Amino acid sequence: MKITMPKGVTAILEKLKQNGFEAYIVGGCVRDMILSRLPQDWDITTNALPDQVKSLFDRTYDTGIKHGTVTVRLFDTNWEVTTYRSDGLYEDFRHPNEVFFTDSLSEDLKRRDFTINAIAYNPKTGFVDEHMGIEDIKKRIIRCVNDPDERFGEDALRMLRALRFSGQLGFEIEEKTCTAIAKNAPLIAHVSAERIKEELDKLIVSDNVKVFGKLWDTGLMEYISEDIFAAGKDCAADLGKLPRDKILRWAQILKFTKDPRSELKRLRYDNKSANLIIFLCANEKTPIPADKYGIRKALSKWGEDKFRLLTEFRFSEDFSEVNSLLDEILRDGDCISLKQLALNGRDLESIGIPKGEALGKALACLLDEVHKNPELNNKEKLLPIAEYFIKK
């Protein structure tokens, strides 16, 4: 198995080694390399204390110094280096009340969540795998390090992480670990809405999205959202038929709830995303026009992004012809909005249309005419039509 690390990571490991310290890459980056996946993050762990790490490198930042993490700036990239540690008591089911630095890699590895994330590596030693993580990767299972009840009692978010890894990696959750999730499900209520949303967003767009249904099987959803729980597991049945887009897939879930806006607010969703999801839920059965005039009017009302999202959301319908017409409209630069209209309010005032309701109505009528016949979007052609409205 070939392990290739970025030059910045290699340089940091070598620098620590040259100065008498141990150093390994650890966690998700090791797991991903074993799986031939490209790591998203590189975590380095060492027996060097934070101040010792800082003394060895020219540019460092105290990003998580309380928990032993120093960011080293090397080759125009930031790398996190964390001292081996063991954790104190977890009194809030999320964070240890204190952290103890240790000289033992074994102590550091046994505090981690899952065996597949408790593997360390450096070029000299090779893999340090005291919890059979490599074997679990081969078996494609998610298993807690040591006692799962203890792991979930320390940090309740780990239960959602187990489902998220299952969805992303296509691994099964080991039976004892799955049983412990069901047993400890009420503890998820202690986790912030922001962190729950972060994990659910990753799960809902995962390759193995059917795992989303396990939120009901394990009982977690009952403590995450009573409204979504009440909608039933079937609301997640068709997620895989939609593109891997969190807006589309959340709309598929929330269209079955009583108040999607309330759920999105509770999950701390940003306004832009929330408005798109609510739009999809509200327009699930709205007819989508199949002619250019209707498409132009819909674009004027919704905009291109919402129009395209809605056609994707209605996965059981064939909108290939509609999308072809949409592409033609956009390619030809047809007038869609008042901003694109060849004349404006001042032009209409100059021919005697007063400000206010009359002016607005005239502009709306002209835009509708241009939606019907795009070639009319010319000031010389539109002014006579506007004058007709005055006489009418």
DSSP 178-241: HHHHHHHGGGGGGS-HHHHHHHHHHHHTSTTGGGGGHHHHTSHHHHH-HHHHHH-GGGGTTGGG
> In one letter, which amino acid is 43?
D
Residue 63: band (very low, low, confident or very high) from pLDDT cuts 50, 70, 90: confident
Average pLDDT over residues 49-56: 96
Q: How confident is the model at residue 95 (pLDDT cuts 50, 70, 90)?
A: low
Q: What is the pLDDT of residue 354?
A: 81
**For residue 121, is pLDDT > 90?**
yes
Query: Is the pLDDT confidence value at 96 over 70?
Result: no
- The percent of residues above 90 in pLDDT, for the chain, comes to 85
Find tokens 């940003």 and name the residue.
270
**How confident is the model over 171-196, as a mean pLDDT?**
96
User: Looking at beta carbons, which pairs linking 355-363 to residues 24 or more positions away fall under 8 Å?
Assistant: 362/386, 362/389, 363/338
For residue 122, pLDDT beyond 90: yes
pLDDT tens per residue, range 288-333: 999 999 999 999 999 999 999 999 999 999 999 999 999 999 999 9
Mean residue pLDDT of the chain comes to 93
Q: What whole-number distance in Å separates Cα of residue 345 and Cα of residue 353?
A: 9
> Where does the pLDDT of residue 387 fall: very low under 50, low under 70, confident under 90, or very high at 90 and above?
confident
Give me the residues paired with residue 82 across strands: 45, 69
Residue pointed to by tokens 């064939």: 318
| Side-chain-side CA neighbours of residue 347 (13 Å) | 17
**Count of beta carbons in the 10 Å neighbourhood of residue 271:** 9
CB atoms < 10 A from the CB of 56, how many? 17
Specify whether the CB–CB gap between 262 and 225 falls below 8 A: no
What is the mean pLDDT of the segment spanning 189-199? Answer: 95
Task: Give per-residue pLDDT as tens, 246-275.
Answer: 999 999 999 999 999 999 999 999 999 999
Strand stretches in the chain, DSSP E: 23-26, 43-46, 60-64, 69-74, 77-83, 85-87, 99-101, 120-122, 126-128, 141-142, 172-173
Cβ–Cβ under 8 Å, residues 84 and 104: yes
- Model confidence at 217, pLDDT cuts 50, 70, 90, reads very high
pLDDT band at 154 (very low <50, low <70, confident <90, very high): very high
pLDDT at 391: 63
- Report the pLDDT value the prediction gives residue 36, as an integer from 0 to 100: 93
pLDDT of residue 392: 60
> Residue 357 region, left (φ>0) first, then alpha (ψ -120 to 50), else beta?
alpha
Torsion of CA 69, 11, 108, 147, to 10 degrees: 110
pLDDT at 357: 86
pLDDT of 92 reads: 58
Using CA atoms, how far apart are residues 75 and 58, in angstroms rounded to an integer? 12
The answer to whether 222 and 297 have CB atoms below 8 angstroms apart is: no
Q: What is the pTM of this model?
A: 0.89
46-60, 179-193, 352-366: which range is least confident on average? 352-366
Q: Is the pLDDT of residue 23 over 70?
A: yes
pLDDT category at 90 given cuts 50, 70, 90 is low
In this predicted structure, what is the pLDDT of residue 60? Answer: 95
User: In DSSP terms, which residues pair with 71 in a beta bridge?
Assistant: 61, 80
Contact (CB, 8 A) for 13 and 6: no
* pLDDT reading at 61 higher than 80: yes
